[in-house]
Amino acid sequence: MSNDKLPTRNENFSEWYNQVVQRAEMADYAPVRGCMVVRPYGWALWENIQSALDTRFKATGHVNAAFPLFIPKSFIEKEKEHVEGFSPELAVVTIGGGEVLEEPLIVRPTSETIIGHMYAKWIKSYRDLPVLINQWGNVVRWEMRTRLFLRTLEFYWQEGHTAHATADEAETETLQMLDIYYDFAVNEAAVPVIRGRKSDKEKFAGAVRSYTIEGMMGDRRALQSGTSHNLGQNFARAFDIQYLDVNNELQYAWTTSWGLSTRFIGAIIMTHGDDQGLILPPRLAPIQVVIVPIWKSEDERQAVLSMAQEVRQRLIQGGVRAQLDDADQKTPGWKFNYWELKGVPVRIEIGPRDLAQKSVVLARRDVTGKSGKSFGVNLETLVPQVIELLDDIQNGLLQRATEFRDAHIVDVSSYAELKEVIQAGDWARGWWAGTTEEELQVKDETGATIRCFPFDQPESRGACLFSGRPAREVALFARAY
Amino acid sequence: MSNDKLPTRNENFSEWYNQVVQRAEMADYAPVRGCMVVRPYGWALWENIQSALDTRFKATGHVNAAFPLFIPKSFIEKEKEHVEGFSPELAVVTIGGGEVLEEPLIVRPTSETIIGHMYAKWIKSYRDLPVLINQWGNVVRWEMRTRLFLRTLEFYWQEGHTAHATADEAETETLQMLDIYYDFAVNEAAVPVIRGRKSDKEKFAGAVRSYTIEGMMGDRRALQSGTSHNLGQNFARAFDIQYLDVNNELQYAWTTSWGLSTRFIGAIIMTHGDDQGLILPPRLAPIQVVIVPIWKSEDERQAVLSMAQEVRQRLIQGGVRAQLDDADQKTPGWKFNYWELKGVPVRIEIGPRDLAQKSVVLARRDVTGKSGKSFGVNLETLVPQVIELLDDIQNGLLQRATEFRDAHIVDVSSYAELKEVIQAGDWARGWWAGTTEEELQVKDETGATIRCFPFDQPESRGACLFSGRPAREVALFARAY
């Protein structure tokens, strides 16, 4: 770890982010432009995200499978909007085993096409429906401007792909999966995302309707953190996914897709982090508690380490992910900074004075300085107290982020007001009945896009902030990652 | 599921395998030549394999991470033997984002090179060692003759990559990981593999020493089921992985790599399967128990289903992976065949006659016919009885496979005997002190290769079966997948 101080978030949020990601050993740049290495600490966080989501997917009847990395070029071209959306971003394999390939292969940017092809083969009758499959894997999109976790050539994600007998069922599935993302984001990651529908301009290439969870980052930019798409019969028609219904008539299936990626790690970092580094939500943190022993003499060292080991053992038996930093070469102060940078929610300090009293000091990561410390915590009540503290921190992070978000969403009723709010870096909420062209004009002139039409809508109607036309919905505008 | 009978294993083992894999819905062919789709049932088995291995990796101090899919072409060329080994098998990305790339990118066939590059960046001092990282992911090798699970263009695996301060430590790690594979294969998959060292001809491209676990399949061919490589300082020199030792002198690190892939699913299928289809080892089976209710009238249906649901509930609460097949459209006989094909270890039958007695029928998959059935099993003792039966089946599968293996390894003391044994389809074990050229001659003339020099060696010495030269080791020869 470098000893230079991090830039503060106010000074340079972007540079703060880059340095935190690398210095906390979450990820590193790979030798190929725009690709990343997710380091063990970052991957452990992703494994906890995977586990929280996978449990929810399986509880709602989904199963996992694995579809190929390579897609024949002709497949991508079958769905008109899909090919337009993804063509500029493709990585193409043209040589295999030393020979030029007859048909080039696309490294999957997403798997609707190849999965659609397989579903057409597997689905024959209404009895085969619904098909509810998810895949954990890697995809590649040839992005020009990349940033670790937020936008990389290769990234990791899950993509769910389902097929249904009716339009209603497909819509219900699309919304159910968005709710699962929401529940995960809010209750596991303490990221208070907003659910909503994407505008036509922003929806997935080939979808009928796209839904999103949008998070407000620490610099108030929006981050699209997960999406769920109702694909209607678009891909079923392109790939011939047909089934015999109860009346023995051939019908096209209705399909959905939904995904959440390693980008969400960026959401966690930028929602909770402070000028000391990461703050990880306890439910997902790879290490929930770090124990830092403090000693001067060799005698003290032995006694302190032995108590520290006992504390670690008790915590692990209590189901807490605890780690003991017993390294000889580093000072306690260095260790405090290091584990703060890494965002471990709770630090336990044990020094010679604590030995006699059989007590320890608890320090919470989200409240720095003395006010975040509890002194003289008795060993006998430590484990329940730590568990309660972890809950407190989890709830506190969510509350803080929610208040921050709500303080920075401003209602606007005119384009002039919208410009002012966006210029100030906040989000603007206002009635919208505009066209895609008008939305593009707003983007060109302000840098803001419609992040979503939030599910949470006023009961009244209003006038479009841009055109004055009668509007049925409010939209959220923001500059976004 | 097709209603045609499977070919028997004696008639055509290869065709039996292909049909079982597809009809049991383990995997399917993808539209790209040589690529596979791992279907949910196959992937659920892989998830159980992953979990059994991952637990063992983490218990021995390893952590997971993710390295990029794409490797600069120049990297592959840095280690001389490595590039010779892998060059013919590479898939090459030459176009990205619509532009021809300046340096083509290789889709990783394995990750020694890119991980070596990152280790060179991360490792500075002896304090940074050992580095113990594993990765779960996909790799691509452009194979010409492919078979589902056994050899596909893209496959799934884990690859461990470690770096150490001494040669001894690296060798200890290499052997430790082989032992973990062995323990997994024998105790989770009931596949009685043989541990040994690869010959120079068969070792990994770039390794100093390669170790392997070799399994004997139902057709007596050998399947290399997992490998662990001591890479010496070969990759450290090629990628400049250097560290400052305790005396502040620069040293090259010693590295290892080890991998086990979805090929192991093929090992499970070909070790345990019979003419009715799959037999999955209970510890890894996605479904351990299937409940098939039997009824004629609607009254019976309701009562039988209600008892079946109770049975399912009790089993799940007892930690058994149980599923109820309550489909209306299929007969019990059809279901029996279907779940036998899928290799579910235990079937529970519940019919109207069982209701009154509150009992069920247990049928074990590994013993077909009446002798594999227990009648009148009381509901109150069902769960412990099922758990015991699953253990019995697990042990029985291992014992059967071990006896089969041992009955088909024949000691030979001359090349003529070796030819005879290989011709008969068995494995030959004999003293070997031959050269790589002599090994190649054996391969050309018999189709057999040295699978390994097994760890289990006679205490005496002998004369090489081929040349008569004094030999220190016996080798195992077999035709292999």
Find, among A353, A350, A323, A351, the residue nearest to A338 by Cα: A323
* Residue whose pair of structure tokens reads 């279901």 in the numeric block: B335
Contact B91 A93 (CB under 8 A): yes
- B191 shares a domain with B62: yes
Same domain, A247 and A306: no
Residue range A214-229: mean pLDDT, rounded? 98
Q: Is the pLDDT of residue A1 over 80?
A: no
Number of domains in chain A: 3
- CA–CA separation, B363 and B370 (whole Å): 8
DSSP per-residue string spanning A6-31: PPPTTT-HHHHHHHHHHHTTSEEE-S
Residue A207 falls within a domain, yes or no?
A: yes
Same domain, residue pair B268 and B293: no
Pull the structure tokens for residue A56.
């929810």
Judged by CB atoms closer than 8 Å, whether chains meet at A47 and B64 is answered as yes
Optimal mutation site among A25, A37, A51, A57, interface B, most CBs of chain B within 10 A:
A37
Local structure of residue A366 (DSSP, 8 states): T
- A92 vs B94: CB contact, 8 Å cut-off? yes
Closest chain B residue to A25, measured at CA:
B122
Nearest to A94 among B68, B95, B121 (CB): B95
Q: Check whether residue B90 and residue B206 sit in a common domain.
A: yes
Reported as half-sphere exposure (CB side, CA atoms, 13 A), residue B221 has a value of 15
pTM, full prediction: 0.97
List the single residue in A70, A140, A154 with the smallest CB-CB distance to B32: A70
Q: Which residue has the tokens 């009635």?
A: A431
In A, which residues are within 8 Å of B329 by CB distance? 127
In a domain, A196, yes or no: yes
CB contact under 8 A, A329 and B30: no
DSSP letter (8 states) at residue B381: G
Residues B19 and B129 in one domain: yes
Chain A residues with CB under 8 Å of B105 CB are 32, 91
Instruction: For residue B421, give how far its alpha carbon lies from the nearest alpha carbon of chain A (Å).
Output: 35
> A383-426: per-residue pLDDT in tens?
999 999 999 999 999 999 999 999 999 999 999 999 999 999 99
Q: What is the pLDDT of residues A83-98, one digit of tens each?
A: 888 888 999 999 999 9
B90/A95 Cβ within 8 A: yes
Distance CA B88, CA B91 (A): 9
Q: DSSP letters of B371-403?
A: GGEEEEEEGGGHHHHHHHHHHHHHHHHHHHHHH
Report the pLDDT value the prediction gives residue B11, as an integer from 0 to 100: 95
Q: Hey, is B271 helix, strand or coil?
A: helix
| A367 membership: H or E segment, kind and range | none
Residue B2 lies in a domain: no
In a mutational test of the A interface, the residue from B93, B117, B155, B326 whose CB has the highest number of chain A CBs within 10 Å is: B93
**pLDDT number for residue B81:** 84
**pLDDT tens, position by position, A34-45:** 999 999 999 999
With CA atoms as reference, the chain B residue closest to A36 would be B68
- Tell me the C-alpha distance between B346 and B339, whole Å: 9
- A contact test, residue of B43, B73, B115, B123 with most A CBs within 10 A: B43
Cβ atoms of A451 and A400 closer than 8 Å: no
pLDDT averaged over every residue in chain A: 96
Say yes or no for a CB contact (<8 Å) between B69 and A140.
yes
- Average pLDDT value for residue range A288-294: 98
Question: Do B178 and B59 fall within a single domain?
Answer: yes
Work out the minimum CA distance from B472 to partner chain A, whole angstroms: 39
pLDDT digit string, tens, across residues A415-459: 999 999 999 999 999 999 999 999 999 999 999 999 999 999 999
Q: Is residue A368 part of a domain?
A: yes
CATH number of the domain encompassing residue B204: 3.30.930.10
CATH of the domain at A323: 3.40.50.800
Q: Is residue A396 part of a domain?
A: no
Residues of A in contact with B153 (CB under 8 A): 70, 96
- Nearest CB among A40, A69, A142 relative to B140 is that of A69
pLDDT at residue A113, as a whole number: 95
pLDDT band at A80 (very low <50, low <70, confident <90, very high): confident
Instruction: Write the DSSP assignment of B135-185 as a string of letters.
Output: EEEEEE---SS-BTTTB-SEEEEEEEEEEESSHHHHHHHHHHHHHHHHHHH
Tokens for A17, please give them.
């982010």
ipTM: 0.96
Residue numbers of chain B with a pLDDT score lower than 50: none
Is the domain of A137 the same as that of A261?
Answer: yes
At A443, which CATH number? 3.30.110.30
**Span A47-58, mean pLDDT?**
98
pLDDT at B83: 84
Statement to judge: residues A317 and A459 lie in one domain: no
Identify the band that residue A57 occupies on the pLDDT scale cut at 50, 70 and 90.
very high
What pLDDT shows up at residue B311? 97
- pLDDT range class, residue A158, cuts 50, 70, 90: very high
Q: Does residue B71 sit within a domain?
A: yes
DSSP state of B199: P
pLDDT tens digit sequence for A186-221: 999 999 999 999 999 999 989 999 999 999 999 999
* A431 SS3 class: strand
Residue of A nearest to B34 (CA): A68
Residue in B closest to A46 by C-alpha: B65
Asked if residue B34 and residue B165 are part of one domain, the reply reads yes
d(CA B293, CA B361): 11
pLDDT digits (tens, 9 = 90+) for B309-350: 999 999 999 999 999 999 988 999 999 999 999 999 999 999
- Indicate the residue of A40, A75, A92 with minimum beta-carbon distance to B95: A92
Residue B125 inside a domain? The answer is yes
Q: Do B418 and B454 form a contact (C-beta atoms < 8 A)?
A: no
How distant is the Cα of A59 from the closest Cα of chain B, in angstroms? 14
Shortest distance between the Cα of A94 and any Cα of chain B, in A, equals 6
| B303 shares a domain with B267 | no
- Do residue B115 and residue B151 come from a single domain? yes
How many CB atoms lie under 10 A from the CB of residue A406? Answer: 10
| CA separation for the pair B453, B210 (Å, rounded) | 11
Contact B87 A98 (CB under 8 A): yes
Query: In this predicted structure, what is the pLDDT of residue A22?
Result: 97
A66, A68, A93: residue with CB nearest B93: A93
Answer whether residue B310 is part of any domain. Answer: yes
Residue-range definition of the domain harbouring residue B464: 409-478
Q: Same domain, yes or no, for A170 and A121?
A: yes
Q: Which amino acid is at B252?
A: Y
